[in-house]
Amino acid sequence: MGRINDTLNLLKNTTSLVARNKDILKPTWAQVKIAAFFYFLMIVSIVLLFIPNLGGVGQIGIIVMALVLMLIFPFIEVKYKAAQSWIVYQTFIGEKTDYADGIKRAKANRGDIFALGALDILLTHFSRQLKNKSNSGVGIFFRIILAGLSKIIEEGWDLIGNFLLPASIVTEKTITEAAKDLKELKNNVPGALAGVFGIDFVGNTLKSMVGGILFLGILVGFALLFFTGTWLPLVFIFLVMIAFNVAANITVEMIKVVYFTLFYVSIAMPMKMPKELRDEVTSYLNYKEPDQKTLEKKASDKTKKEDTKHHERLKPFIEKYRKQGYDDKDIKKVLTDNKWPASEVDKALKKI
Per-residue pLDDT tens over the stretch 24-61: 999 999 999 999 899 889 889 988 988 888 989 999 99
Last residue in a domain, options 233, 253, 279: 279
236-270: per-residue pLDDT in tens? 777 777 777 788 888 888 888 988 898 888 888 88
In a domain, 14, yes or no: no
Residue 244 and residue 173 share a domain: yes
Contact by Cβ (8 Å): 67, 45: no
Task: Indicate the residue type of 119.
Answer: L
In a domain, 307, yes or no: yes
| pLDDT of amino acid 191 | 57
Q: Is the confidence at residue 333, as pLDDT, over 60? A: yes
Residue 179 and residue 125 share a domain: yes
134-173: per-residue pLDDT in tens? 777 667 888 888 888 988 898 888 888 999 999 999 988 8
Query: Residue 338: which domain range?
Result: 289-351
Task: Indicate the residue type of 243.
Answer: A
| pLDDT of amino acid 295 | 44
pTM value surpassing 0.95: no
H or E, element range at 262: helix 232-268
Last residue in a domain, options 235, 258, 279: 279
Contact by Cβ (8 Å): 310, 338: no
- Residue 251: closest CA among 45, 66, 35, 4: 35
Last residue in a domain, options 254, 279, 304: 279
| Structural domains of the chain, count | 2
Residue 33 and residue 81 share a domain: yes
